[in-house]
Amino acid sequence: MDFALTDEHRMVQQMVKGFAQKEVSPVIKEYDRKQEMPPFILPRMAELGILGICLPVRYGGQGMDYIALGLA
């Protein structure tokens, strides 16, 4: 059994990591102190396709597997 990540899995991993580092990390400490959710995060995650990773493409999702979801 091959447990290596596919190119698609690595792409998801890099994209989500970049999003977290560039857009979430700079502001999350302040929102955490206020015990609030940053209002831009869910819309941005939807725009990037993160929220629909495991949904079939025919329903507007990415059609990926649960490994991709776990990596995200």
Q: What is the pLDDT of residue 1?
A: 82
* Domain ranges, residue 15: 7-71
Q: What's the pLDDT score for residue 2? A: 81
**How many structural domains is the chain composed of?**
1
1 inside domain: no
Q: What is the pLDDT of residue 3?
A: 85
Residue ranges of the chain with per-residue pLDDT less than 70: none
Decide: residue 59, CB within 10 A, 0-12 exposed, 13-18 middle, 19+ buried.
exposed
The answer to whether residue 43 is domain-embedded is: yes
Is 66 a domain residue? yes
Q: How many CB atoms lie within 10 A of CB 30?
A: 10
What's 45's domain CATH number? Answer: 1.10.540.10
Is 33 within the bounds of a domain? yes
The helix (H) or strand (E) run that includes residue 67 is helix 66-71
Residue 41 lies in a domain: yes
pLDDT at 23: 96
